[in-house]
Amino acid sequence: MAFDSPTSRTRVNRLPKRGDYSQKTIYAILDAGFLCHAGFVVDGQPYVIPTGYGRAGDTLYLHGSAASRMLRTLAGGVDVCVTVTLLDGIVLARSAFHHSMNYRSVVMLGKASAVEADAEKAAALRVISEQIVRGRWDDVRKPTAQELKATAVLKLPIEEASAKIRTGPPLDDEEDYALNVWAGVLPLAIRAGEPVADPRLAPGAKVPKYLMK
């Protein structure tokens, strides 16, 4: 697809003013997250599976066990819908009807394919690792040939996608603004806590700087 030109499948119909089809916006949302949900249908049965991801250029990478039914199914060319949602706040209105949420979301449609070559697979795994914890890949032991064989990696071209975003305060009915009811936004965010050491941590191993607040 050409960004800024939604398809009939990705055009936001409900509250279209919240839709955004720019590559800049879509990629910014993808880069701010690391957990997606992949939806697909097998023999008439729909499934939606949460999984980690990483983006490099115009490609989204997914990975998991080579025995994963989801990955084996998607590698076969089944249509997939991948969604990413970042929840920024709960919008508390004066009426129950107008409560909402502030969020940034992306919906991607397409077909994924398997990454076969070990070098490309390792590069994709680095992308996913760095998306989740930047700097971690350079610290850890790299996958062995056997581990690469036991891992499936899929690539999904980001060609048909749209973003939907809500920001700002509640939008109440005009007559409700006079009600003596608190209204506003309760901000939400994913924040890292203090690292908890593995009980079998090697003596002298220090918490890496990229995990420090």
> Looking at residue 166, which CATH number applies to its domain?
2.30.110.10
Residue 7 lies in a domain: no
Cα 138–chain centre separation = 23
What region does 50 belong to: left with phi over 0, alpha with psi -120 to 50, or beta?
A: beta
4: confidence class by pLDDT, cuts 50, 70, 90: low
How many domains does one find in the chain?
1
Q: Do 151 and 68 touch, CB atoms closer than 8 A?
A: no
CA distance 188 to 133: 20
pLDDT at residue 1 greater than cutoff 70: no
pLDDT for res 6:
81
Which residues contact residue 4 at a Cβ distance below 8 angstroms, ignoring those fewer than 6 apart?
A: 21, 22, 23
Residue 206 lies in a domain: no
Residue 54 lies in a domain: yes
Which tens digits make up the pLDDT trace of 85-122? 999 999 999 999 999 999 999 999 999 999 999 999 99
For 189-200, what is the mean pLDDT? Answer: 94
Q: Which domain holds residue 45?
A: 16-173
Residue 29 lies in a domain: yes
pLDDT for res 159:
93
Residue 2 lies in a domain: no
Residue 3 lies in a domain: no
Residue 182 lies in a domain: no
What average pLDDT does the structure give for the chain? 94
What's the pTM?
0.92
Residue 47 lies in a domain: yes
Residue with tokens 């209204």: 183
CA distance 21 to 195: 37
Weakest mean pLDDT among 15-19, 124-128, 135-139: 15-19
For 21-29, what is the mean pLDDT? Answer: 95
Which tens digits make up the pLDDT trace of 67-91? 998 999 999 999 999 999 999 999 9
Name the residue with higher pLDDT: 12 or 157.
157
